[in-house]
Amino acid sequence: MTLHTQLSLSGFIASEPQHSVTENGDSRFYVRIGQQHFRREDDGGFTELDPSFHDMVAYRATADRALDRFAKGDSFVAEGYVRSFQVERDGEAVEREEFVAKKIGHDLARTNYEVDRTRRAPGATERDAPVVGNMVLQDAGPIRGNTTSLAL
C-alpha cells in the first residue's frame, strides 16, 4: 500500500478567527496566518526576516473545531491543499490563493499542553460526541504568554 501524503503548512494565527457559512450551509473558518522566515548566514547563524502572511480556510467539522480551539497568536500545523481563485478588484481580475486545511492542530514544537485521554461514550458519533476533556495551551510562538483553555 502506498503512503498517503498531502501538503503541509505551519505558522501562527495572525488574525482573529472568523466564522461564516457557505452557500451549501457548511461552516467556514477563515484566518490570516503568518510564516516566519530566516536567512542562513556565512558564519552558520540565522537572521530573522519579516514574516509573510497568507489566507487559510477550513470547512465543515474541521472549521467548527478550529473555531473552538484556535485564537490569534496560536502556532499550528495543518494538512491540506492550495486553492487558487480570481477576485475582482477595481474592475480588474486578481489571482489569489488560500490554503484549505483539511486537518489542523497546535504545533508541538511551540505549544505546551496537557492531554486528557478520557474516552468517548460507546456509539457516540463525531457530531454528537460530548466534550471529553480539556487541553490547556501555553503558546510559545510569536505572541508569547498567550494561554488558552480548549475543549477536546
Provide the domain count of the chain.
1
Question: Does residue 51 belong to any structural domain of this protein?
Answer: yes
H helices of 43-89, in order, are 60-69
Q: Is the pLDDT of residue 126 over 90?
A: no
Overall average pLDDT of the 31-42 stretch: 97
Q: Is the pLDDT of residue 57 over 70?
A: yes
17 burial type by CB count under 10 A (0-12 exposed, 13-18 middle, 19+ buried): buried
Question: Does residue 40 belong to any structural domain of this protein?
Answer: yes
**b/e 2-11 (16+ beta carbons within 10 angstroms → b):** eeeeeeebeb
Find the CATH number of the domain harbouring 102: 2.40.50.140
Q: ∠ CA 77-78-79 to the nearest 5 degrees? A: 140
Contact present, 88 and 95 (Cβ < 8 Å): no
Question: Does residue 96 belong to any structural domain of this protein?
Answer: yes
pLDDT (0 to 100) of residue 56: 98
Which of 45-59, 67-81, 83-97, 131-145 is predicted least confidently? 131-145
Question: Does residue 119 belong to any structural domain of this protein?
Answer: no
| pTM of the predicted structure, to 2 decimals | 0.74
Question: Does residue 151 belong to any structural domain of this protein?
Answer: no
Question: Does residue 149 belong to any structural domain of this protein?
Answer: no
Overall average pLDDT of the 88-92 stretch: 93
